Amino acid sequence: MDSLPSSKKCSRCGETKALTEFHRDKTKPDGAASRCRLCVSEAGREWRLAHPEEVRESKRVYYRANREEVRARSREYYYLNHEYCRARQNAYIAVNVELNRQRAREWYHANKERACEASKAWKKKNPDRVLANHHVRKAKLRNVPSERILLSILIERDGGHCQICGKAKGAQRWSIDHILPLSQGGHTTYANTRLAHFNCNARRQDKGAAQLRMIG
């Protein structure tokens, strides 16, 4: 019996390559496809570029049929390639700022009720981030340095005690107090903020730290 050849000529690129460079095909005498792996991949890429709508529809059909599996694979890939994914996402956002804003506006107008419900649910679940965003916006309006201050971090750092009256939370709610108020040039940073009762903070108003006097 004649032994099988160890190489083969690709019918597409015309190059002679080892059989390991070809996909298996039992219908062929040598058990290898007529085109090499590289040419098969290139032909597939060309077809996808020439038929974008068919590719998108195929992806939609597959996603609807395998939604949970696709999401699980996506989460796993993102977890294993977190930095790379974030870098690509940031690069895309930087290049397509106006396009992303337009898409966001169109989606919001088409799904206004859904967007409002999602926003309410997120705010209810993340009260400390809502407060942090509020202080960042205030700082930006005054054009002063700012960072996102999380109330949970202040509570841990300041030992769960109001830094104005020295008492624990009790029945009152917490707030973020600027040691040097924004109106006097203070910054929204951890170095210039402290934990305070909402009422203590409100009574203090915009007095400087050295001028702090509690009103009885």
Quick check: 150 and 199 in contact, CB under 8 A? no
Tell me the domain boundaries of the chain.
7-49, 68-123, 127-210
pLDDT band at residue 212 using 50, 70 and 90 as cut-offs: very low
The predicted model scores a pTM of 0.49
In whole angstroms, how far apart are CA 46 and each of 9, 15, 64?
22, 20, 26
Quick check: 142 and 182 in contact, CB under 8 A? yes
pLDDT tens-digit readout, 105-122: 999 999 999 999 999 999
Helix (H), strand (E) at residue 174 = strand 174-178
| Cα separation, 22 vs 4, whole angstroms | 14
Q: Which residues pair with 18 in a beta bridge?
A: 7
Note the pLDDT of residue 33: 94
Note the pLDDT of residue 136: 86
Sign of the alpha-carbon torsion through 107, 112, 118, 124:
positive
Query: Is the model more confident about 24 or about 207?
Result: 24
Class of domain 127-210: mainly alpha
Within the chain, residue ranges assigned H as helices are 37-50, 52-65, 67-80, 82-95, 97-110, 112-125, 127-141, 151-157, 198-204
Average pLDDT over residues 191-195: 89
pLDDT at 208 over 70: no
Note the pLDDT of residue 209: 58
